[in-house]
Every structure is written in C-alpha cells, then in structure tokens.
A and B are shown apart, each in its own frame.
Chain A
Amino acid sequence: MSSPILKLIAQRVALGLLLLLAVSVLIFAGTQILPGDVAQSILGQSATPQALANLREELGLNAPAYVRYFRWLGGVLTGDLGTALSSRQDIATAIGGRLWNTLFLAFWAAIVSIPLAIILGLLAVRYRNGWIDKTISGLALASTSLPEFFVGYLLVYFFAVKWQIFPGISTVYDGMPFLERMKAIALPATALTLVVLAHMMRMTRAAILNVMQSAYIETAELKGLSPFEIIRKHAFPNAIAPVINVVMLNLAFLIVGVVVIEVIFVYPGMGQYLVDHVAKRDVPVVQAVGLIFAAVYIGLNIIADIAAIVANPRLRHPK
C-alpha cells in the first residue's frame, strides 16, 4: 500500500481524536447544566442540610468547573476514570463488566443481523420487484417501524410468558455457563436484530441496485453470467462502501443505543448503567460513559471511512 492511503488514514484518526476532545468538553459542559445537585440526589428526600453540606465538601463539588474539567481530563488520559460518587466504586472496574455485557449482546446481535441483512439484500436484488423482494422488504420494514419496546414486549409475551421457551429476564452474571448466557440473551438479541435488520437490508439492496444500472453489468449479462454471479462478482464489490457505512452505523447503535432493550429485558449493560447514574447525578460516571460512547461512535465511523477508502480501487491504486 502506498503513502496516500496511509496519509488519509492518519488524517482520519487525527480528526477523530480532535473530535473526541471536543466531545469531552461538550459532555463536561452538559453534565454541569443538569438541574439538581449530586449531593441531594445521592441522599434523597431524607437528607438534612448538614449531611448535604458534608457530602458536597467531600465530593469536591465546590471547586470551579474548569479546574474540575482539567482534573478529569488528566485522569482520563492516564487511564483513571475516577470513583463513582454514589457507590464509591472504581468506575473503570464497574464499567468493565457492563461494557463486556454490552459488547457480548451487540456481538451476537451483529453476528446474526449483518450476514442476514446482506443475504436478504442480495436476494431482494436478485428477485427485485418480485414477491420475494416485496415480502422481504415488507417484513423488514414492518419490524423496524414497530418501536423497539413493542417488539421486545411481543417477544416476551410469546416466548417467555406464553410458551416459556426463553427467559424474559436476561440477567447475566460472571461465571454464568456459556449456553445459559446464550439462552438469556436470545430474546434481546432477536429484538435488536429485528430493529437493525431493515436499515442494513434496504441499504444493501439500494446500493447494489444502483450499481446494477452500470454498463459493465450489462456486459456481464451479455457474457452469459448467472444473475447471482453478476451480483457477487461485479455488483457487490462495487457497492461495498455504502454497505460498510450502514453496517458500522448499526454496530454503533447496537453498542450505545440499546437502553430501551436493556430496560425491557433487564440486561445489565452500559445503557442502564448510564441511566442509573444520570438519575443520581453521578457526574464522573456519566462523563466516563459518555466519553466511551463517543469513542465507540467515532471509532466505528473511522473504520467505515477507512474501509471505504481501502475498498475504492482508485484510492488504492493512485496514478
């Protein structure tokens, strides 16, 4: 590979880091303007003014905002995310377990949904405008149009309450046997698959159809290649960039956007962890999780960009 690609990639990564820094400022500012006060939220309705004052002092809430920002940024850069205000636990340790759970669920949802979406997309193109295409598109669109909590409740109603095949509560814990863990995440992973499927499928279909108009496809047809061969060899490789883009977007969603599914299935992932701490005004945790989410989004987008660059022959083989 030659230098222009490396240069492009380096540019993207640098931009990403800069963006992350900007996001960190935004996150910090955002957490400062939340209404209410950490101490009050931690001690609840039953707090006396004296206890509140003591807690504020102890939590260092009396220092000016910019001082706290740089203290925090310094910590993050050295890998220290701080301690949760409310439970006094080390944030990095606590997040570690939750992040692993989130990635585990996202991984299995992705393993099922991405190949499925692409295969369905290819099928839809092969039989475009026929009943197969219409059925696939119709079902996928329907499952996406339903709000995710509704899809979740439907799954719970049938699979957990009525037929009792899978548990409706997806509580997973350390040391849980792999098969049990898989059984526990069956319903949330299915719900997530249904939610992201249509987007990727429709995008694949559209991207390939776009390419199918090209002259070289006609040539391939005239050569006598079968429709699947044409799609596999000639159309799909040229449509890969937008497909990768939409796949990455959905991957990012699977990691950072699943709080509703987590709540419905009681899955101990990052989303629920974040919401709990927002409710308690546990600012260090909110900041840390916000930063991780931003990093995931930016990281996956960089990967999508780079993949698009690498997949483009004109960029790969510059004159």
Chain B
Amino acid sequence: MSNELEYLSRRVAAGKLNRRDFLGRAAALGVAATFANSLLASAAKAEGPVKGGILRAGMQGGAATDSLDPASWSSQVPYFFGRQWGEQLVQISPEGEPKPALAEEWGASDDAKTWTFKIRKGVQFHDGKEMTPADVVATIERHSDEKAKSGALGLMGGIASVKADGQNVVFELKDANADLPFLLDDYHLMIQPNGGKDKPDAGIGTGPYKVTVNEAGVRLGAEKFANYWRDDRGFADQIEIIVINDATARTSALQGGQVDIINRVEPKIVELIKRVPGVVIRNVAGRGHYVFIAHCNTAPFDNNDLRLALKYALDREEMLQKILMGYGSLGNDTPINKAYPLFTEMEQRKFDPEKAAFHYKKSGHSGSVLLRTSDVAFPGAVDAAQLYQQSAAKAGITLEVKREPGDGYWSEVWNKQPFSASYWGGRPTQDQMYSTAYYSKAEWNDTRFQREDFDKMLLAARSELDPAKRKQIYADMGQIVRDEGGVITPMFNDFIDATSAKVGGWVDDGNQEMMGGYALSKCWLNA
C-alpha cells in the first residue's frame, strides 16, 4: 500500500479529510474504490485504546542538569515528564478550554477577584496519601515564595491570598482576572504533597504514571499508577523518555523502532520522513512564533515609520516557505494568531517594497540598520536574517546582519540590544501573552512597547467577564500592536512531532508539542 494512501486514510479517520475527497485522491493514485473503502474501514477500526506495553519517547530538550522539582523546569523534557507524573488543578484541553483536573469545578465572584475551586476528593498521591486542599494551598504558596525560585513566580504575582475552605480552595486576587483557570494550568503548578515544601524534587504527584527511573538528561521512566483516578489516560504499563538531543539520532531511533514518538522533527526533513514506511508526521499549528524585535524607545526604532518600513520590507511568505518549509502560518506583526481564544482576524500584512520605501523615506533614517541574530534565536534564525536582508534591500533598506554566539544570547543580546531575532513559545491566553511581553511594566517587554492606553485596555479586558466585549478589546489591542508595535512577526511555527504508525490515540493539540505534553499519557500502542 502506498504511503500516501496510508497517510490519507489516517487523515480521514482523524476527521481531517472527508471521505469523498479521500476517494477522489485514491482514484488519482490509481486505486480501485472498493480497495480504498476497505482501507478506510481498517483505519477507522484501529482507533480504540489498547492497554499495556511500554511507550517510549525520544526527545530533544533534556540535560544532565534537569531536576524533578517543578519550580525549576524550563526545558522540554523535565516538564513533559512532569505532565505524566503530576497534575494541576486545571488542564487546558486540545481545543484551548480550561478543563477540570484536580479541581472538579470553579467559579468567580462578579468582580472576578475571588475565585473558588472545589478540589476533587479521593485522589491519591503516589506515596499513598490522599490529596487535600491543604496540599493545593501549600503548592501555590511555595511557587509564590520568592525563595523557591519558581519559574511560575511571575504568574503568582497577582494572587493576594490562598486559603482552604473545607473541600474548596479560595483565591483572592489583587486585581480582577477572568483568566485565572488558564494560569493554573501552568506546568510548574503540579500539586505535590505539602506543596513540595519538604522535598521539592521527590517526583511524587497524582498523575497516571509513577516515577521509577530518574537519570537526568539520559533516561526517565515511570510505571502506571495503580490507583489513578481517571480511566481515559495511562494506557501503557510503562513509559520511558530517552533524551536524544541530536536530530538525526532522534529520527533514526524512531525508524529503528527504539522509540515510538519523537519531538522536533526539523522542517527541512519532514518531506523525507513522510516517505519512510511506518512513520507518521504529526504537525499542529501552535502559538509559538518567531520574531524580530525592535525597541520602541531606542533610536532609530523609536520612529514608527521606520518600524513600519521594516514590517513592509519583510517577505513573510518566502520566509515561511524557506525556513519552515511551509510548516507554519504567516505572522501579522502581533503575537496572537487563531490558536488563541477570542481571536479576531486582521488584514494580512504583505511584503510591499514600495510602502516600505515610502515609510523609510518618511522616517528620515539613513545608513544601515543593525540586526542581531544567532542560531539559538530560533531554528534557522541566521538564514532568516539573511532573507530579511535581501528583501529589505529591494526596498532600499540596508540591513546589517550580525551573528552573535549562541552562548549567552539570552542574557546578553535578547531584551538588551535594540534589534534582534528571538522567539516566543506563546501563552494559553491573549491576556497572558500581552501581560508577559507588551505590558509597560513587564520584565520581558522585549520591544519596549510602553503605552498607557494599551495598558488600560489590557487591564480592562482582564477583568471583563463578557466574552464579546473582551473580544472587541483584544481586537483593538491587536490592531495597535500590529500598526505601532516593535514586534515584527514573520511566522508562527507548527509543532512537528513524529510517531510510529503503531501509536494510537493521537489528537492534535496546539498547546505544546507532543500533544500538549500529554502524548505518553493519552496515547497507546496498537499491537
């Protein structure tokens, strides 16, 4: 059977291609309709959980320096592993909705300042103790404590107090926030016994898998937790993560059958991998995006005409095709795309050398513009900067590209130098994205975008419980950033993972790579 057909039939089974289109494509490939129909039936039948076995992932993003303490997580492997052994109060679904996890339900006061979460009863930690509201409170306290050095500290800033009240946990916020449930999905906020205050890196949580092997940067393993509370996760008896930072080694491990799932398939080899029998590419649009960031308060970038010139001088289509091989979507000079809730479509900005030249002239700037880039800014950032240089030249703008060492790029260049390449992983909500990088007082306002009216709109949207009104505010904010901000967004990148054809249960989840981080819990191995 041709790989093309096999691929198409799976697309139909996953609901991505309709039957009629499938039969048409099959006919084009010279396949009889009866055979094509039987193929469809077998593809559909294969979908249904199978228990048992060892499900293995080969992943980039782990190092010998990793720890099991959720507060310390900042790279892929530790928090992906965390998603299998730990759980938060709320988890965001593949559709982007907050869904109950360790909290059964929740509600906000009318002013969105007081939130009450009802904690699930009868959930056990891996050490046999029952999870209680006190553990939840202790977890939030630990991550709010500056001494804990938690990566979630920034998110905790808005919380005034947390208290247990019977089976409930009550959050009092300093300012109204309609998005609190989204914040509580953060991967650092795994509920631990006594909040992990006693032994933060014990690796004990309530998740479907119980940690058995912890060799940081090499191998992580876990076995099914017998008393796990839900039955729609944890199908394999054991899971294993092998850290494979080399892209070629990762691919060959999948082909050789040593692992079943890998992350970060490089866009340039996707077309080749697709042709390998028994391997399936799983790509999904996410919120991550590549950016060129100009500081709005530093000359010459303090001139909006120059920023507009730079925006029009970027050939996004070309960059998407050449850097991401089309595995992504066009950026529109905002950090927001359709993967966000409450998104409003705006006119797509296009490469327009004439407009670029017009604004460039109007800005009065002369001489070259220095753009700093590095291999670590985003995959292909050096090539992307050179493409940018060429397209800008067509508009008569001279970009000088400076390649910075990857070592120290995040501490010495990003958020320090006035014009540089970077990336953002995206956030679950528009509020979080804007609060993190576009609010005047945000630490990571890496475009130095400081506008009082924008800040006010951000705060208004945050406390607005009416979705229609919120959507309108976000639409206006998007327009401001697009036309006056310092961010130049060429594209949003897809998450590209790959699995063996034996892996069942995969659903597209754009929250994070590897099925939003739940691949090992939600997938199974077909015999």
| Chain A residues with a Cβ under 8 A of chain B | 34-37, 40-51, 54-55, 84, 86-88, 94, 98, 153, 156-157, 160-161, 164, 167-169, 171, 173, 263-266, 268, 272-273, 276-277, 279-280, 282
**Do the beta carbons of B245 and A263 come within 8 Å of each other?**
yes
**Do the beta carbons of B74 and A44 come within 8 Å of each other?**
yes
**Do the beta carbons of B65 and A43 come within 8 Å of each other?**
no
Given the known interface contacts A266-B242, A273-B64, the answer about A173 and B215 at a Cβ–Cβ threshold of 8 Å is yes
Write out the residue numbers on chain B whose beta carbons fall within 8 Å of the beta carbon of A279: 63, 65, 407
Contact residue among A41, A49, A98, A168 (Cβ-Cβ distance under 8 Å from B253):
A168
B219 contacts chain A at the CB level, 8 A cutoff: yes
Given the known interface contacts A51-B149, A88-B67, A276-B65, the answer about A46 and B74 at a Cβ–Cβ threshold of 8 Å is yes
Interchain Cβ contacts under 8 Å between A and B, 10 examples: A44-B151, A54-B146, A168-B249, A168-B252, A171-B218, A266-B242, A266-B244, A273-B64, A279-B407, A282-B65
Write out the residue numbers on chain B whose beta carbons fall within 8 Å of the beta carbon of A98: 64
Given the known interface contacts A40-B411, A84-B65, the answer about A169 and B253 at a Cβ–Cβ threshold of 8 Å is yes
Write out the residue numbers on chain B whose beta carbons fall within 8 Å of the beta carbon of A265: 249
Contact with A along B243-254 (1 / 0, CB 8 A): 111101100110
Contact with A along B186-220 (1 / 0, CB 8 A): 00000000000000010000000000010111110
Contact with A along B211-250 (1 / 0, CB 8 A): 0010111110000000000000000000000111110110
Write out the residue numbers on chain B whose beta carbons fall within 8 Å of the beta carbon of A168: 249, 252-253, 256, 258
Task: Tell me the minimal C-beta distance from B120 to chain A in angstroms.
Answer: 29
Most buried by B among A50, A51, A94: A51
Write out the residue numbers on chain B whose beta carbons fall within 8 Å of the beta carbon of A282: 65
Write out the residue numbers on chain A whose beta carbons fall within 8 Å of the beta carbon of B252: 156-157, 160-161, 168
Q: How far is the CA of A101 from the CA of B505 in the complex (A)?
A: 37
Contact residue among B67, B150, B248, B405 (Cβ-Cβ distance under 8 Å from A264):
B248
**Do the beta carbons of A87 and B411 come within 8 Å of each other?**
no
**Do the beta carbons of B242 and A171 come within 8 Å of each other?**
yes
Write out the residue numbers on chain A whose beta carbons fall within 8 Å of the beta carbon of B146: 50-51, 54
Task: Tell me the minimal C-beta distance from A196 to chain B in angstroms.
Answer: 21
Task: Tell me the minimal C-beta distance from B457 to chain A in angstroms.
Answer: 24
B408 contacts chain A at the CB level, 8 A cutoff: yes
Write out the residue numbers on chain B whose beta carbons fall within 8 Å of the beta carbon of A156: 248-249, 252, 256
**Do the beta carbons of B411 and A37 come within 8 Å of each other?**
yes
Interface residues of B in 246-276 (CB under 8 A from A): 246, 248-249, 252-253, 255-259
Task: Tell me the minimal C-beta distance from A259 to chain B in angstroms.
Answer: 11
**Do the beta carbons of B249 and A277 come within 8 Å of each other?**
no
Contact with A along B58-100 (1 / 0, CB 8 A): 1000011111000010110000000000000000000000000
Q: How far is the CA of A259 from the CA of B149 in the complex (A)?
A: 32
Write out the residue numbers on chain A whose beta carbons fall within 8 Å of the beta carbon of B255: 161
B154 contacts chain A at the CB level, 8 A cutoff: yes
B443 contacts chain A at the CB level, 8 A cutoff: yes
| Chain B residues with a Cβ under 8 A of chain A | 58, 63-67, 72, 74-75, 146-147, 149-151, 153-154, 201, 213, 215-219, 242-246, 248-249, 252-253, 255-259, 405, 407-408, 410-412, 414, 443-444
Write out the residue numbers on chain B whose beta carbons fall within 8 Å of the beta carbon of A161: 252, 255-256
* Closest 5 A/B residue pairs (Cβ): A44-B74, A35-B408, A86-B65, A36-B408, A276-B63
**A interface SS class:** helix
Contact residue among A36, A46, A49, A160 (Cβ-Cβ distance under 8 Å from B411):
A36
Task: Tell me the minimal C-beta distance from B270 to chain A in angstroms.
Answer: 17
**Do the beta carbons of B249 and A35 come within 8 Å of each other?**
no
Q: How far is the CA of A263 from the CA of B154 in the complex (A)?
A: 35
- Closest residue to A166 on the B side, CB-wise? B256
- Closest residue to A273 on the B side, CB-wise? B64
- Closest residue to B240 on the A side, CB-wise? A171
Write out the residue numbers on chain A whose beta carbons fall within 8 Å of the beta carbon of B243: 266
Contact residue among B72, B74, B153, B249 (Cβ-Cβ distance under 8 Å from A45):
B74
- Sample of 18 more A-B contacts, CB < 8 Å, known A36-B410, A156-B256, A266-B244: A36-B408, A40-B411, A42-B72, A43-B151, A45-B74, A46-B151, A48-B153, A48-B154, A87-B64, A87-B66, A157-B252, A160-B258, A161-B256, A167-B256, A171-B242, A273-B64, A276-B63, A280-B63
Q: How far is the CA of A268 from the CA of B72 in the complex (A)?
A: 22
Given the known interface contacts A50-B146, A164-B257, A168-B258, the answer about A173 and B219 at a Cβ–Cβ threshold of 8 Å is yes
Write out the residue numbers on chain A whose beta carbons fall within 8 Å of the beta carbon of B217: 268, 272-273, 276
Write out the residue numbers on chain A whose beta carbons fall within 8 Å of the beta carbon of B218: 171, 173, 266, 268
Given the known interface contacts A94-B64, A272-B217, A280-B65, the answer about A36 and B407 at a Cβ–Cβ threshold of 8 Å is yes
**Do the beta carbons of B65 and A164 come within 8 Å of each other?**
no
Task: Tell me the minimal C-beta distance from B258 to chain A in angstroms.
Answer: 5
Given the known interface contacts A276-B64, A276-B217, A277-B64, the answer about A51 and B153 at a Cβ–Cβ threshold of 8 Å is yes
**Do the beta carbons of B256 and A45 come within 8 Å of each other?**
no
Q: How far is the CA of A142 from the CA of B147 in the complex (A)?
A: 57
- Closest residue to A266 on the B side, CB-wise? B244
Task: Tell me the minimal C-beta distance from A59 to chain B in angstroms.
Answer: 11
- Closest residue to B423 on the A side, CB-wise? A45
Task: Tell me the minimal C-beta distance from B487 to chain A in angstroms.
Answer: 16
Write out the residue numbers on chain A whose beta carbons fall within 8 Å of the beta carbon of B414: 45
Write out the residue numbers on chain A whose beta carbons fall within 8 Å of the beta carbon of B444: 45
**Do the beta carbons of B64 and A272 come within 8 Å of each other?**
yes
Q: How far is the CA of A109 from the CA of B407 in the complex (A)?
A: 33
Write out the residue numbers on chain B whose beta carbons fall within 8 Å of the beta carbon of A272: 64, 217
Write out the residue numbers on chain B whose beta carbons fall within 8 Å of the beta carbon of A55: 149
Most buried by A among B213, B407, B412: B407
Most buried by B among A47, A50, A157, A272: A47
**Do the beta carbons of A44 and B75 come within 8 Å of each other?**
yes
Q: How far is the CA of A45 from the CA of B256 in the complex (A)?
A: 35
Most buried by B among A34, A157, A169: A169
Contact residue among A44, A49, A280 (Cβ-Cβ distance under 8 Å from B443):
A49
**Do the beta carbons of B443 and A40 come within 8 Å of each other?**
no
**Do the beta carbons of B216 and A169 come within 8 Å of each other?**
no
Write out the residue numbers on chain B whose beta carbons fall within 8 Å of the beta carbon of A169: 58, 242, 244, 249, 253, 256, 258-259
Write out the residue numbers on chain A whose beta carbons fall within 8 Å of the beta carbon of B248: 153, 156, 264
Contact residue among A43, A88, A171, A268 (Cβ-Cβ distance under 8 Å from B74):
A43
Contact residue among A36, A167, A263 (Cβ-Cβ distance under 8 Å from B246):
A263
Task: Tell me the minimal C-beta distance from A90 to chain B in angstroms.
Answer: 13
Q: How far is the CA of A44 from the CA of B130 in the complex (A)?
A: 34
Task: Tell me the minimal C-beta distance from A269 to chain B in angstroms.
Answer: 10
Given the known interface contacts A167-B256, A264-B249, the answer about A35 and B242 at a Cβ–Cβ threshold of 8 Å is no
- Closest residue to B258 on the A side, CB-wise? A169
Write out the residue numbers on chain A whose beta carbons fall within 8 Å of the beta carbon of B259: 169
Given the known interface contacts A35-B412, A44-B74, A49-B443, the answer about A266 and B64 at a Cβ–Cβ threshold of 8 Å is no
Q: How far is the CA of A264 from the CA of B74 in the complex (A)?
A: 24
**Do the beta carbons of B258 and A167 come within 8 Å of each other?**
yes
Given the known interface contacts A36-B408, A156-B252, A277-B65, the answer about A171 and B219 at a Cβ–Cβ threshold of 8 Å is yes
Q: How far is the CA of A51 from the CA of B414 in the complex (A)?
A: 19
